[in-house]
Amino acid sequence: MKLGDISVLYIEIVIKAMRHLGENVDDILAKYSLDHTALASPDARVTIPKFMRLGHDCIKKSNTPWLGLIMGEMTSVTNLGVAGLLAFSSKDLKQACEQISTYELLNKYNSRGQSYFYVSHSFGMEMGKSRELCLEYDVEDGQGLLMFYSINPYNEYNHFVVDSMLSGWHKVIKTLSGREDAIDKVCFEFPAPAYADKYSEFFNCEVKFNQPNNYLVIKAEALDWPCLNCSAPTFELLRRGAEADLEKVRLGLSFHEKVSRVIGPLLDGTTPTLEQVSEQLNMAPWTVRRKLVDEGGSFQQTLNDTRRTLSISYVRDTALTLGEIAYLLGFGSPTAFQRAFKRWTGEAPGRFRTAKPEKRADR
C-alpha cells in the first residue's frame, strides 16, 4: 500500500501558478522526469511524495510560501477531471459539490483519506457521530460542508497541498455559480502560518485556523443556486461514464485491498478495530472477517500488512520524524514502532532511511 498518487492535472495547476509568478519550471519538471508527453496523458499519475517535493521545490524557487493559494486561484473545473466536468454541468451547487467529492477517486488516491460533502442537518447521522461533533465544526443547520482530509502533521512540504485544495474549491464554486458570496467560511486544521495575512487576498470570507479539519462551509441558501452551465443530458452522460470508471476501480481491488484502504485513514494515533472498519464498509464484522479468510488472510494480517507497507513508504518517501510516523500508524511509542519496523525489514528505520540513496525524484 503506497501513500497514494494523483493525476498530472495537479501538476498542470502548479505550472500555471509558477507561470503566473513569472517562473520557468522546465528544470524542476526535468528533475522529476515529467515531460510534455507525460503531462498530456489522461492516465499519467505521480506519487504523493513526488508531488509534495515538486511543490516544495517550486516554493523555494519562487520564494512564495503561499504558492498553494495561488494554485487555487489558477484552478479551473477541468483541473478536477471528470469530477469537475460533472460539477460544471450540475443543476445546482449542492449537486456540484457531491460530484467533486464522489468522483475524486478517479483523479487521486491518498491513503490518509478522501474528501466528503455533507449538508449539516445530516452530518452527524452520515458520519456516525454525535450532534456535539457537528457543533465542533461550527456549521448552521442546512449549510454545506466540503471537507478535505487531515494530513497532519503539517510541515513545509504539505501546507501548500491543503491551501491549494481549499482555495481551488473556493475558485471552482465561484466559477460554477457566477457569484462571489457562496462561501460562509474557510477552515484550516493547522495553526496560522507565517504568511497568514495572504489568505484575505484569496478568500472574501472568514478564514479560521486550528479547526477540527480542513473544509469549506457553504451557505445554506447557496446550495440551491443554479450552476451557470447546467445541462441535465450532459450531466447524465458524464455520470454514467464516471460511475463505470469508479466501478472498475472498485472491482480491481481485492477485499484485502479494500479493507487496507479503509484502515489507512483510521491509523491516526490509534489502532482501528474490526468493528470500526466494518462500519466504514457498511458490513457486519463477521462478514468482513469471513471475506478476508476466504482470501486466505485475516483482519490482523491486513492491519499488520497495511502498517508495514505504510511504514516503509513513510520512512523512505517522507521527511516525517520517526515519532510522527509512529503516531500516524497507531503505535503506542516510537520504540514500539522501531521494533516492529526492524522485524519487518531487518533494519532500524533510521538506518533504513539514511542507507537509501536520495533518488526520490524518480519515485
Confidence of residue 131 (pLDDT cuts 50, 70, 90): low
In this structure, are 78 and 191 located in the same domain? yes
Dig out the grid coordinates for 145 from the structure.
460542508
In this structure, are 77 and 220 located in the same domain? yes
- Beta bridge partners, 217, equal 145, 185
Q: Which of 225, 245, 265 is the last residue of a domain?
A: 245
Q: Quick one: how many helices (H) and strands (E) in the chain?
A: 19, 8
In this structure, are 118 and 177 located in the same domain? yes
Decide if pLDDT at 268 tops 80.
no
Buried b (16+ CB within 10 A) or exposed e, 205-236: beeeeebebbbbbbbbebbebebeebeeeebe
Do the domain assignments include residue 263? yes
Do the domain assignments include residue 303? yes
Secondary structure of residue 300 in the 3-state scheme: helix
pTM exceeding the 0.85 threshold for the entire prediction: no
Decide if pLDDT at 361 tops 70.
no
Cβ(170)–Cβ(198) below 8 Å: no
Do the domain assignments include residue 292? yes
pLDDT in tens, 96-112: 999 999 999 898 888 88
Question: What range does the domain containing 238 cover?
Answer: 66-245
154 DSSP 8-state letter: P
For 33, 102, 123, 178, 220, the CA distances from 302, given in Å and listed in that order, are 34, 26, 30, 47, 41
In this structure, are 177 and 267 located in the same domain? no
Q: CA-CA distance, 69 to 50, in Å (whole number)?
A: 20
Give the strand pairing for 206-208 and 183-187: parallel
Exposed/middle/buried for residue 24 (C-beta within 10 Å: 0-12, 13-18, 19+): exposed
Do the domain assignments include residue 285? yes
Decide if pLDDT at 129 tops 70.
no
